[in-house]
Amino acid sequence: MLPIDLQGRRAFVAGVADDAGFGFAIAKALAEAGATVCVGTWPPALNIFLNLLERGKMDASRRLRSGDLLQFEKIYALDAAYDRYDDIPEDVRGNKRYKDVGDCTIEGVAKRLTDDFGDKPLDILVHSLANGPEVKKPLLETSRNGYLTAVSVSAYSLVSMIARFGPLMRDNASVVSLTYMASERVIPGYGGGMSSAKAALESDTRTLAFEAGRKFGVRVNTISAGPWASRAASAIGIIERMVEYVAKTAPLTSPLEPSDVGNVAAFLCSPLAGGITGTTVYVDKGYHSMGMGYEPFAHLSS
């Protein structure tokens, strides 16, 4: 038996606000492998997330194979659009969803981790963050602000997090992010600069693997996941059609499950993947390998 063993390791998963997305699935897989898990949640979603937990609305999805419930060691408010507290505009600081959460910037959360757990508190960092406020707009109709926001939150935040979390990470640490194939293929309807943001994320993964590997001894990889109809992905507007098309076209037609992504993330964060860095790993039922849709040639498989 060759187990994925993450006992004694602590993970921080940025971008968990419910139990429907890849971030939650990754957190659960890491816990199944023995890691303790902290999460970062967008301040406007924080109270809803806490209420769901407290009322037991996520108990079924939190159930581990052992029968225990997935427990989050700490839940931090995190808005990865801001690097430092001074970057938060006054009107945002005074917003009712922000004014009581303290320093929710990337730097602020890094400090909270060291305050709570000491100088080297982390072994695993998961970046499950994306935001494209104009994602439903074609690229030609995307504003400069919408484009830059997509790149800032969905790609640059990884750079900022590794710069600030890298010094907090112990030996043999790992960073994993989530990308999408729109980085390299045209996906009509996935607009607002999000395709550009994912391309930047993948390019940065390679560069960060070199720089953070040399500076912090950290491995950096990204998972290119197939489409999944999470609550967050509903903002795209065509997510159901994307899922349906991939199911018809991919080599494997069984539905993609968030646990498929979670399990690969756990592997990438484990010693079993100690030689893997700077890599985009596809978890999409093989869809990325296709050059043409399946339906016109369905008769050839009979």
Instruction: Just list the catalytic residues.
Output: 180, 190
Q: Within its chain, how far is the Cα of 63 from the centroid? A: 21
Reference 163, options 80, 235, 231, 239; nearest CA is: 80
DSSP H helices in the chain: 22-32, 43-54, 59-62, 90-93, 106-117, 144-151, 157-165, 194-216, 239-249, 258-268
Give me 32's structure tokens. Answer: 């199944």
CA dihedral 165, 167, 168, 172 (to 10 degrees): 100
The DSSP bridge partners found for residue 124 are: 11, 174
CA gap 137, 156 in Å, rounded: 21
SS3 content of the chain, % helix, strand, coil (to 5): 45, 15, 40
Give me 46's structure tokens. Answer: 């924080």
AA identity, residue 18: D
First to last CA, the chain: 38
* Antiparallel, parallel or unpaired: β 280-283 and 122-127: unpaired
Contacts of 223 (CB under 8 A, 6+ apart): 176, 177, 178, 179, 261, 264, 265, 268, 280, 281, 282, 283
